[in-house]
Amino acid sequence: MKRLISSLSLCLTLSLVISPLAAAVTSTADDQGTDYRKQWHSDISTGYQTLAAQSQALKDQAETYCKAPSSEGLKQTRKAWLDAFLAWQEVRFVDFGPVEQGNRAWQFQFWPDPKNLTARKASYLLKDSAPVTAEKISESGVAVQGFPMAEYLLYDQTFSAGSNALPADRTCSLLVAVTRHIADNGANLANDWKGFESNYVGNQQYTDTTIRAAMAGLEILEERRLAAPMGLRGNGKRSVYNADAWRSGTSLIAAEASVRGLKNYFLPAFSSLLHDRKQSGLAQDIEQQFDEVLANFPELDRPMAPLLADDNAFRSLQSLYIDITQLTALVNDRAAVELGIVRGFNSSDGD
């Protein structure tokens, strides 16, 4: 409780320290900007390569399992799904560049899914008698093409108790086809990101774009992935169905991976930028706050549902939430204001 109070007072202090006159990042000498973007390009490339490799491993494991199903094989396929899913979480904040092409980000993870299209589409595809081809997956929409569909087939409790449960033939075909689609997307994304290098490094607007992407990633984490299932928004009811990856119970380990991805792939160049802008103190605060958030793990690498159901257990979730709100405040409010970066009411809505 004491920690909670001190955290909250820190939040208040932070929100008051605002410099009203901030120049935009893009006004920095551009050769410096080029250095930041070179580093971001290289760091994000590392993340994309990991995603490509883990997606390939998931596809291979799904094929192996479906050729000779066993309970151990199912376990290994779930593990391969999680490794690939976490590799995606690490780069999920990147919302620009090749991941925008063909809605790739949505293909990897269609979420939120309030109408449960994942289950509806699975049921529809499993009833259909036509073979589950790559074309079928390509034309079936983003709810079929990524990690949530594979998660549904591998983890959904109701589904796993029914007659279509793995390793049923048609379900196996669907699982293999979906993981192939994920692996193709992973390989193409890593490849296209390499080809994007000169456009990315050569255009100074991508500095702002990259920082905005991290800001949006943090905001989605705080608001949609945590506050919403914790009942801190909307009708005030706690519900794990508002979280992502609730079927596999990996909402929190996924949150950890997203923070780790921001730390590994975004923070290094961002820290350099802040240092160059005479914001070393702020850079240090942000680095420390990343560690504060990550210190909640691995203790919190647990399914979210039991934590929502028990007030005592809920406190550990609150503690994570507060650490993340502080990180968001440091990056999205303080650093963004210092750097003159705006994420607006109108600038992100697409009308």
Partner 1 sequence: MHELTRRSLIKAALAGGAAVTLTGCGMLPEKAAYKGARQYTGAIGLADGSFAVGAIAPDGKMLWQSPVSTRCHSGCNRPGSAEVLFFERRPGWSFYVLNSRTGERLHHIQAGEGEHFVGHGVFSQDGRFLYATASRYDPGEGIVAVYDSQQDYQRVNTFELNGTGPHQLTLHPDGRTLIVGLGGILTHPDYDRIKLNLDTMKPALVLVDSQSGATIGRFSPSHHQLSTRHVDVAPDGTIYAAYQYQGPAHELPPLIARYRHGRYEEIDLGESVHRKLGNYIASIVAHPENDLVAIASPIGGTALVFNGLSGKVLEQASIADCAGVEALAGGDFLVSSGRGKLVRIGKGQPAREIASMPVQWDHHLV
Footprint of partner 1 (CB under 8 A): 96-97, 100-103, 106, 110, 112, 115, 117, 141-143, 199-200, 202-203, 205-206, 209, 342, 344-347, 349-351
Count of residues making up the chain? 351
The least distance separating partner 1 from the CB of residue 175, rounded to whole angstroms, comes to: 23
The least distance separating partner 1 from the CB of residue 348, rounded to whole angstroms, comes to: 8
CA 276, 334, 33, 293: dihedral to nearest 10 degrees? 90
337 Cβ partners below 8 Å, 6+ apart?
Answer: 18, 19, 22
Q: How far is CA 241 from the centre of its chain?
A: 17
109 Cβ partners below 8 Å, 6+ apart?
Answer: 88, 92, 146, 147, 148, 244
Q: What are the structure tokens assigned to 159, written together?
A: 């589904």
Q: Pick between residue 54 and residue 204 the one whose CB is nearest to partner 1.
A: 204
SS3 at position 85: helix
- Asked whether the beta carbons of 222 and 253 are under 8 A apart, the reply is no
Listed residue (307, 104, 268) closest to 189, CA to CA: 104
For residues 190 and 99, what is the distance between their CA atoms, to the nearest angstrom? 9
- Asked whether the beta carbons of 142 and 106 are under 8 A apart, the reply is yes
φ/ψ of residue 229, rounded to 5 = -65, -25
For residues 307 and 70, what is the distance between their CA atoms, to the nearest angstrom? 32
The least distance separating partner 1 from the CB of residue 115, rounded to whole angstroms, comes to: 5
Listed residue (90, 156, 89) closest to 118, CA to CA: 156
Place of tokens 């990343």: 290
The least distance separating partner 1 from the CB of residue 271, rounded to whole angstroms, comes to: 24
- For the chain, give me the number of helices (H) and strands (E)? 17, 0
The least distance separating partner 1 from the CB of residue 74, rounded to whole angstroms, comes to: 30
CA-based max dimension of the chain: 65
The least distance separating partner 1 from the CB of residue 105, rounded to whole angstroms, comes to: 9
The least distance separating partner 1 from the CB of residue 307, rounded to whole angstroms, comes to: 25
The least distance separating partner 1 from the CB of residue 18, rounded to whole angstroms, comes to: 13
